[in-house]
């Protein structure tokens, strides 16, 4: 990525989100001269090799801002907080600024991921990407930008094509292709993917995930899974992250 990234770590103070188990720590990252707050969950226990897996979580539209905390309040953060004693991975929670997309903030997300992985000794071979809604779109887009970076992807209620009510929200890397789903599937066919969506989603059409799952199958993807919750609306993230098999599958993936 052309933009030069300068990473600056904030102090090691714990935040108000501290709970029993591993802490959520406040950090800052500087990208192109602007400072951005983010949070990192640090697991209470490490594995024998001392290198925990790392998850990059991309929040949805409602968690944009500059406080650094809101991304931990919806989606993966509440699940991690509820299982803090046993959750084994470093989790990085960057925050996109107000009125911006993850496509506009890939350097910020990658810089926070790099900083947290380095500071807390995360395992680059077991680095995973997940996101919800706007972050589901971002999951596809950031993975397309760096297809060799992530050992597995978990996009939740995201999409590929521009959103009908918000054209800036899209997997921009493949826009302009004759079939953006096919183009994305070809580029990511070697990356394990587990897609989640709610069948009754009235915010992001589930057809986006259905078409991407079908495209991955046609592309001969090595490990592509799709779970659609028949009674879920837009909030498919709570049942997704509460799926026990997801975590067994995810932490088994390695680049």
Asked if the model's pLDDT at residue 246 lies above 80, the reply is yes
Residue 140: count of CB within 10 angstroms of its CB: 32
Predicted confidence band at 22 (pLDDT cuts at 50, 70, 90)?
Answer: low
Range 138-150 average pLDDT: 97
Q: Mean pLDDT score of the chain, rounded to an integer?
A: 91
Range 135-147 average pLDDT: 97
Q: What is the pLDDT of residue 146?
A: 96
38-67 pLDDT per residue, tens: 999 999 866 556 799 999 999 999 999 999
Q: What is the pLDDT of residue 130?
A: 98
Give the alpha-carbon dihedral of 225, 109, 53, 6, to 10 degrees: 160
Q: What is the pLDDT of residue 48?
A: 52
Range 223-246 average pLDDT: 98
Predicted confidence band at 75 (pLDDT cuts at 50, 70, 90)?
Answer: very high
Q: Is the CB of residue 140 less than 8 Å from the CB of residue 129?
A: no
Catalogue all structural domains in the chain, each as residue range(s) with its CATH number.
5-251 (3.40.50.1820)
Q: Is the CB of residue 14 less than 8 Å from the CB of residue 24?
A: yes
């Amino acid at each position: 990525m052309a933009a030069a990234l300068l990473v600056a770590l904030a102090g090691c103070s714990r935040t108000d989100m501290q709970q029993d188990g591993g802490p959520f720590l406040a950090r800052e990252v500087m990208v192109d001269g602007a400072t951005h707050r983010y949070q990192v969950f640090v697991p209470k226990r490490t594995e024998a090799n001392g290198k925990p897996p790392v998850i990059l979580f991309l929040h949805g539209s409602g968690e944009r801002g500059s406080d650094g905390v809101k991304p931990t309040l919806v989606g993966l953060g509440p699940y991690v907080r509820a299982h803090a004693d046993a959750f084994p991975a470093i989790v990085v929670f960057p925050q996109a600024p107000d009125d911006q997309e993850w496509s506009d903030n890939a350097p910020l997300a990658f810089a926070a991921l790099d900083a947290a992985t380095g500071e807390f000794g995360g395992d680059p071979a077991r680095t995973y990407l997940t996101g919800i809604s706007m972050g589901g779109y971002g999951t596809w887009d950031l993975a397309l930008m760096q297809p060799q970076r992530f050992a597995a992807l978990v996009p939740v209620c995201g999409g590929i094509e521009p959103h009908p009510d918000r054209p800036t929200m899209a997997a921009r890397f493949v826009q302009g292709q004759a079939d953006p789903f096919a183009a994305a599937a070809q580029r990511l066919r070697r990356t394990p993917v587990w897609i989640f969506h709610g069948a009754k989603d009235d915010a992001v059409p589930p057809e986006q995930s259905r078409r991407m799952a079908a495209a991955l199958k046609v592309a001969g993807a090595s490990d592509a899974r799709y779970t659609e919750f028949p009674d879920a609306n837009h909030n498919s993230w709570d049942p997704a992250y509460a799926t026990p098999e997801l975590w067994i599958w995810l932490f088994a993936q390695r680049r």
